[in-house]
Amino acid sequence: MTSQPTLKCIVAVKRVVDPNIKVQVKADQSGPDIEHLKMAMNPFDEIALQEAVNLKEKGCIQEIIAVTMGSLACQDILRAALARGADSAWLIETPEVFPALAAAQCLQALVIKEQADLVFLGKQAIDDDCHQTAAMLASLLEWPLADAVSEVQWFSDRREFEVTVETDQGLELWCLATPCVLAADLRLNIPAFLSLPQIIKAKTKPLTILPIAELVSLNLKTAVTLLQVEPPLRRKAGVLVGSVAELLDKLRNEAKVLP
């Protein structure tokens, strides 16, 4: 009996400010003030990686390659990805300002270089909240996309995924041929805690650094320039009321939002 060949999976991860930190604006309003803040793997990407690890354990995926784009500082999250179960990692060195379209073109080049047949990533990064890279990558590769995936099932006989996606109307079940792009939502899984042996083992796994110019020449036809940033309007401090009756009175007669 010959077993079906399994998938080579790229997981894209992004280094972002720790999601529990409330980011402020720089005094000169030139950008968000993120210097010296604790950084972490984008939580959605962490979930995507965990799902790839789970699928590898089930025999669907044969190899997991983690990739990120950015400065040399991003090596820390790639080591974390290796500890979580990625087999190897790529750091594509890029300038600081790097739009989602550039990330998608970069990932497309890496998919072709590695001859991968599955890309797993988070549906959005919690820093710029763009929610774009997965759709753009699927577009460039002409692969099917499942966005906001909360359940994945692999059918090796027909080499298809059946995935549950979260939409504004509720949960939808879609069937995707491979190769494909899957973008993880929060409820897909709960990433496991890392153990010390995993972290130690990660130190010996291959991590390759490649300047972006050696991978791809970008084609960006829109120029997006950040002019300034500002904090949102602060809501005025509210009042505490003592009872339901007082609350209703305020809502009816002061705020006039109830009849």
Partner 1 sequence: MKTLVVAEHLNGQLTAATLSVIRAALELKQEIVILVLGHGCEPIAKEAALLRGVTQVWWSDAVYYQHLTPADFAEFIKPYQNEFHYVLASASSLGKTLIPFLAAKLSASPLAEVLKIVDPHTFVRGLYAGHVLATLSVTGSAILMTVQHTAFEPIDVETHASPALLVQKTPGPAVAKSRFMLLKSTPSTRPELASAKVVLSGGRGLQSADHFKLLDDLALKLGAAVGASRAAVDAGFIGNEYQIGQTGKVVAPNLYMAFGISGAIQHIAGILGSKVIVAINKDKEAPIFEVADYGLVADLFEVIPELSQALEQGNKR
- Binders of partner 1 in range 17-36 (CB under 8 A): 17, 19, 22-25, 32
Q: Is 72 in the site for partner 1 (CB under 8 A)?
A: no
In the 8-state DSSP scheme, what is residue 165?
A: E
Distance from C-alpha of 182 to C-alpha of 147, rounded to nearest angstrom: 6
Q: Is 253 in the site for partner 1 (CB under 8 A)?
A: no
160-189 residues in contact with partner 1 (CB under 8 A) are 162, 164, 166-177, 180, 185-187
Residue burial 44-80, b: 16+ Cβ < 10 Å; e: rest: bbbbbbbbbbbbbeeebbebbbbbbbbeeebbebbbb
Nearest to 15 by CA among 40, 46, 45, 47: 40
Residue 237 tokens read as: 């401090």
Q: Is 66 in the site for partner 1 (CB under 8 A)?
A: no
Least distance from partner 1 to the Cβ atom of residue 76, Å: 20
Exactly one of 39, 140, 207, 216 binds partner 1 (CB under 8 A); that residue is 140
Least distance from partner 1 to the Cβ atom of residue 69, Å: 15
Stretch that binds partner 1, among 65-73, 109-117, 135-143, 204-212 (CB under 8 A): 135-143
**CA distances from residue 227 to 30, 224, 230 in whole angstroms, order as listed:** 7, 9, 10
Nearest to partner 1 of 68, 164 (CB atom): 164
- Amino acid letter, 44: F
Exactly one of 142, 196, 204, 217 binds partner 1 (CB under 8 A); that residue is 142
Cα of first residue to Cα of last residue in the chain, in angstroms, is 73
Distance from C-alpha of 119 to C-alpha of 139, rounded to nearest angstrom: 13
Nearest to partner 1 of 158, 201 (CB atom): 158
Exactly one of 10, 104, 118, 212 binds partner 1 (CB under 8 A); that residue is 104
106-125 residues in contact with partner 1 (CB under 8 A) are 123-124
- Number of shown-chain residues binding partner 1 (CB under 8 A): 84
